[in-house]
Structure formats: structure tokens, C-alpha cells
Chains A and B, each alone.
Chain A
Amino acid sequence: MARALAFAWPYAKFCIVGGLFGRTFADWCASVSSVDGESMSPTLDGHQAERMLVEKRCLYTYDFTRGDVVVLRSPRSHREVLVKRLIALPGDWIQVPENQEIRQIPQGHCWVEGDNAANSSDSRSYGPVPLGLMQGRVTHVVWPPQRIRRVDRNMPEGRIMSQ
């Protein structure tokens, strides 16, 4: 028994340290998650079982830029995680497309929208979301192999007015 234990111990130690390292890396640097739903098509496609690389380092200083594709917790349901495009940052004035209203984003909030406006539940229905819900930024699509590519920053024109 003691010999078996002595034999297994280095492997167990290797697995534990590897697990810890992987967890920490996924929490603090980058992780891979799958895309689900149609709200971000054609940028990200849920039907192709795409996997995306989510970068977490932007959370240290919250250096998000308008047009980034971001991952955030849903303000309506804490169990859901959403992928949307960041349209406006605190202090920006944004024009809501449905009605001709122009509103200012409050401090510590941002405005997110899906690329597929017709099929997306986003800030147009629940208003600005707190920046504290941010979980990371999507930088690349990593799977399937024929669809590997960068996810570009892309900003719809004429939507915001910074003052």
C-alpha cells in the first residue's frame, strides 16, 4: 500500500498543480467558451458550434473600447452569460434606434447590443448594464478549424455622441 502510494504521489501532485494552474489561467488570463444563440450572427455563429477565446486581462483595468465584443452576465438572470457588442461607455450619449430618443449612459454603466438586431435581447430592452457584470472580451474564434479567425472591433456609425 505504502509503495503504491509512493508511486502514485508524484502523478497526483502533478495533476493537482496542473489543475490549479489551469483554473487560475482560465480565471485571470483567457478561457474558451462556446457560442450559443443567434444574437451575434454573422460575427459569431451559434449553429456552427463555434468556440471563442475570451480574454480576461481587460478586467484588471476595465480597458474596454467601443466596438469590442464582450462577455457579460445577464442583468436579468445571474445564471446566464451573454455575448454582445459594446456600443457606448459611461458619459456617452446614445441614440436608441427604435424610438428617436437620445439618452446618456450613467456612470459605471455601458450599452450593449447584438449584431443581429432583429433577434437579440440587449440594452434596447433592458437599458444600460453595470460594468461590474463584465466577464471578458472575445478576441478570436478558435474552433472549428476552418473558421479560425480574429474577432474585429466594429462600431456602427453615427450611434453615439461623446461630449
Chain B
Amino acid sequence: MGTYNLLWSIAKRNVTTVLLGITISDRCVNIISVTGESMHPTFTAADRVLQGDFVLAERRCLEKYEFSHGDVILFKCPSNHKELFVKRLIALPGEWVQLPGSPKVTKIPEGHCWVEGDNAARSLDSRSFGPIPLGLVQGRVTHIIWPPSKIGQVERKMPEGRISQI
């Protein structure tokens, strides 16, 4: 009987911890590893998960969809639902964005946003797949927590002269 009680109390504690962990990672903050070179130099260009920068992705911003220009956001790729992308948010609904290297101006439709990688030369982003629905956004990257040399906040940064509100 004593063994049973001991096992039960251990199981109960583990289940509670796991539930707490799942709830926090679903609703508050999540740790992910960034790979690929599209966000270089903000994040290291790495091709394997363990070499990449580990970042904190905050999810509370999803409750009210509070995003600002220049935020680094996490979203599901529109052409492949299994992949998560990290890019910089350039324009929000109702704004006009100018495509680099061309005089063309696009209007962001309602409920969509425009995302681009910092490393424009090596990034698959809204310049190829167009505006993405805000419903695909999964969180906002706030801090780098690994490697130690890069620990710090991820800055909000906005390329100038790209958007105009009309």
C-alpha cells in the first residue's frame, strides 16, 4: 500500500508539471530554435537545430493581436502548414508597401500582413508569396537566450521609406 501511495504522489506531481509546462508553452511563452539564413544578422545563419539561436517566442500578444511594425514574428508558412517561419513584420492591414527594386506599391488587404527576412537576398517571404493572413501568426520573438554571446532583446527595427499610409 505504501508503494502505491508513493507512486501515486510521484505521478500526480509529474502530471501537474507537464500540464503546467504545456499551458505555459501554449499560452505564454515558448522556446524555439531558429535555423536558416533568412534573418541573418539578427539570428545566426545555421542549418541544424542545435546550432541555431534559441529564442523566446511570446504568445500573449496573440490574445489581442498587438503587433507593431518591425516586430520579429513567428508564423506558419502559408504554402506548407508544417513549417514555422521567423520574419520581420513590415506592414499591417490597410497600409501600402513598396516592393524593393520596383516602383510597384501593394495595398495590404484586411486581416493580412507583410513579412520580410532581414537578409533580403536569401529569404523566402512576402516578396514571393504576398501578404499572409494574420491568423497564421503564432507569436512574437522577444529575446535571444542562447548562445551566451548573443543573449539579449530582439530589437524592433524598421526599414525606412517602405510603407505609406494613405
Q: Which residues of A contact B110 (CB under 8 A)?
A: 76-77
B residues contacting the other copy or chain, number (CB 8 A): 26
CB nearest to A81 among chain B residues: B135
B23, B134, B135, B137: the one contacting A23 at CB < 8 Å is B23
For residue A69, give the distance in angstroms from its CB to the closest CB of chain B.
18
A residues contacting the other copy or chain, number (CB 8 A): 26
CB nearest to A78 among chain B residues: B134
**From B22, B80, B82, B133, residue with most partner A Cβ within 10 Å:** B133
Q: Which residues of A contact B19 (CB under 8 A)?
A: 17, 20-21, 24
Hey, what's the 0/1 contact readout for B19-61 against A, CB within 8 Å counting as 1? 1101100110000000000000000000000000000000000
Residues of chain B from 109 to 143 with CB closer than 8 A to chain A in the complex: 109-112, 132-137
A interface, by DSSP: helix, strand, loop or mixed? mixed
B16, B27, B77, B133: the one contacting A78 at CB < 8 Å is B133
Kindly state whether residue B104 has any CB partner on chain A within 8 Å.
no
Residues of chain A from 11 to 64 with CB closer than 8 A to chain B in the complex: 17, 20-21, 23-24, 27-28, 62
Q: Which residues of A contact B133 (CB under 8 A)?
A: 73-76, 78, 129-130, 133
Hey, what's the 0/1 contact readout for B95-107 against A, CB within 8 Å counting as 1? 0000000000000
Q: Which residues of A contact B26 (CB under 8 A)?
A: 23-24, 27
A74–B80 CB distance below 8 A: no
Kindly state whether residue B69 has any CB partner on chain A within 8 Å.
no
B interface, by DSSP: helix, strand, loop or mixed? mixed
CB nearest to A20 among chain B residues: B19
B79–A78 CB distance below 8 A: no
Kindly state whether residue A109 has any CB partner on chain B within 8 Å.
yes
- Show 29 A/B contacts (Cβ-Cβ < 8 Å), sorted by A: A17-B16, A17-B19, A20-B19, A20-B20, A21-B19, A23-B26, A24-B22, A72-B135, A74-B133, A75-B135, A77-B111, A78-B111, A78-B133, A78-B137, A79-B65, A106-B79, A107-B79, A107-B80, A130-B81, A130-B133, A131-B81, A132-B76, A132-B78, A132-B81, A132-B135, A133-B133, A133-B135, A133-B136, A134-B81
The 4 closest A-B pairs by CB, nearest first: A132-B76, A73-B135, A78-B134, A131-B81
Q: Besides the contacts A78-B135, A131-B81, what 19 more A-B pairs have beta carbons closer than 8 Å? A: A20-B20, A23-B26, A27-B26, A62-B81, A73-B135, A76-B109, A76-B111, A78-B133, A78-B134, A78-B137, A106-B79, A108-B79, A108-B81, A109-B79, A130-B133, A130-B136, A132-B75, A133-B133, A133-B135
Residues of chain A at the chain B interface (Cβ within 8 Å): 17, 20-21, 23-24, 27-28, 62, 72-79, 106-109, 129-134
Residues of chain B at the chain A interface (Cβ within 8 Å): 16, 19-20, 22-23, 26-27, 65, 75-82, 109-112, 132-137
